[in-house]
Amino acid sequence: MGGTPWEIEMIDRERILQHVWRAKDYADLGEKDFNRVMDEITSLEELEAVANRRKHLRAPHLKKWSQWQRDAILRRQWELRHG
């Protein structure tokens, strides 16, 4: 990517915010909707930003992922890496 660290951070934040409008917090989504969001993610960078949204948004108060959500994130990561 390139640029200064704050530029990179803003890009990550913008990627997250593209998805945030759909739900107050992705951790609150049901399995069907959460998997739909995962399917819409098209890059590992975008997935990383969503997966670590609490850090990137500086929002430690957001709920942690449930086990099935972590599994879905890892599944999508595998799909993006292996085509």
Q: How confident is the model at residue 83 (pLDDT cuts 50, 70, 90)?
A: confident
Residue 77 tokens read as: 């990561």
Three-class secondary structure of residue 66 per DSSP? coil
Task: Give 24-70 pLDDT, tens digit per residue.
Answer: 789 999 999 999 999 999 999 999 999 999 998 898 999 999 999 99
What average pLDDT does the segment 68-73 reach?
Answer: 98
User: Could you please report the per-residue DSSP string of 7-43?
Assistant: HHHHHHHHHHHHHHTT-S-GGGS-HHHHHHHHHH--S
Contact predicate 24/32, CB 8 Å: no
